[in-house]
Structures are given as C-alpha cells and as structure tokens.
Amino acid sequence: MIDVAFTRAEVRPAEVVVVIDVLRATSSVVQALASGYERVLCCDSIERAEQLRGPGRVLAGERECLPPPGFDLGNSPSGFVEPQGREVVLATTNGAPALVAAAGAAEQVVVAAMSNLDAVVSFVRGADVLLLCAGTDGVASLDDAYVAGRIALMLDGPRTDSARISQCLVERYDSPASALSASLAAENLVQAGLEDDVRDCAQESAHAVVPYVSQTSDGVVEIAAAGDQTPSFRSMQSVEHFA
C-alpha cells in the first residue's frame, strides 16, 4: 500500500516511512551525506542539538528560516557542500521533528527530497510505504505533498486516497521548480533572502544517496547513508538506540 500523511501528526506504523521536508531539512540531509559527512544527528529541539555539540560536529539548523544564534550553519543545502567536520547536528522547525516522530512509529525510516528522488524510489519499491510530509508549522505544505506525489506515481501497488490526492497535485505543475516556488515555505525563504535555496532544492535526482535512520535516542535520530551492503530496505539492520 502507498499512503501519504500530509503532516507529522498523521504518522502511522508502516513497513517503511519516507520522510519529506524538501524545503529544506531533508534536502540538506541528502546534500550533507552526499558531500561526505559520516552521519547527521537530527534533533527535535535547538536545546537538544546544543547538548550534542562537540569536536568534529557541525551545529546546523533554523528558526524562522535563519540559523539560531551560535550555530555554525543554517539549513541551506549549499552550506553542506564542503564538509566542515565529520558529523552534522541538525535542528529544524519541521523536518527534524518529523524524522523523530517517524522513528517512533516504524523501524525503517528513509529520507527523501527531490535531489534523491530516483534513488529513494528504487530503494523502497515493493514495500508498504507511508510518505510522511513534514508540513509547515503543523499544517500541510504544497512542496512536500508535491514530492510525495512524485514518489507515489513512480511506485506500483494499491494506494490510498491521500496518495491519489498528492498524485493529482503533480499534474498541476510543469516542473519541480514551479511546484516548490508556489508554496508558502518558498515565500518564507524568499522573504528571508534565501531564494537560491528553492532553486537548489528543486534539483531532481542529483544524488544517488539514500539516507536512513540507523539509530535513535530520546528526541534524536542518527541518519546514515545506505551503502552497497544495504541495497534495499529489506536488508537494513534493525534500528538500535544510542546514548
């Protein structure tokens, strides 16, 4: 079954949950791992992220689109192109909490964006999939729903009405850039002077990396890149908890 949850409040157990926050958290996670960071620690709050600050770790995140005081980076994918350490600690308003929520509902959690679209589809094909949109401040977002629709259209099998709704949305736009640009999240980024992020996040299948939740702790999930040893969700090891 292919299903879509339009906000993290709608998360439910599934064989694999695919988390989408294309503007910008999941796009940044994909970019960070594609660039060579070993892992990304996604936190459900700024305070928790600050507690994980340490040698070799880059503290990144946003509040109202901008980096919190004292953080090394914001949440722009372009900021992760050149690694500044071994690991990223990421705290964002919508995407990071959605990843934490998904890890509490499913053993297998995958991170999706436009930039790794083809890789994610290949990775989860054949599974019972919940496409979890992070949304914006607790409400559905056009940009995430569009990406969910793109993924749903590429997967075979029965689907829920919410999946069909997201697929219909795809037909409304002629490109990822036009869909993302029409969203409230994009408007907020433009107002913050971050319009380049919208363009960057609209790049389709630029990376083959498939980030997935490898470990969890209270309010924190560790995201690693699936490698040759984990060619599909079926071969992924069980999630472990870390301190």
For range 78-106, the mean pLDDT: 97
Q: Report d(CA 160, CA 164) in Å as an integer.
A: 6
Percent of the chain with pLDDT over 70: 93
Task: Tell me the per-residue pLDDT of 73-87, one tens digit each, with 9 for 90 and over.
Answer: 999 999 999 999 999
Task: Tell me the per-residue pLDDT of 184-197, one tens digit each, with 9 for 90 and over.
Answer: 999 999 999 999 99
Q: Would the pTM count as exceeding 0.85?
A: yes
Domains in the chain (CATH in brackets) are: 2-220 (3.90.1560.10)
Task: Tell me the per-residue pLDDT of 2-54, one tens digit each, with 9 for 90 and over.
Answer: 999 999 999 999 999 999 999 999 999 999 999 999 999 999 999 999 999 99
Judged against a pLDDT cut of 90, whether residue 240 lies above it is answered with no
pLDDT of residue 233: 46
Judged against a pLDDT cut of 50, whether residue 202 lies above it is answered with yes
Task: Tell me the per-residue pLDDT of 204-214, one tens digit each, with 9 for 90 and over.
Answer: 999 999 999 99
Between 241 and 196, the higher pLDDT residue: 196
pLDDT of residue 227: 73
Radius of gyration of the chain (CA): 16
pLDDT of residue 107: 85
> Residue 159's beta-bridge partner residues?
2
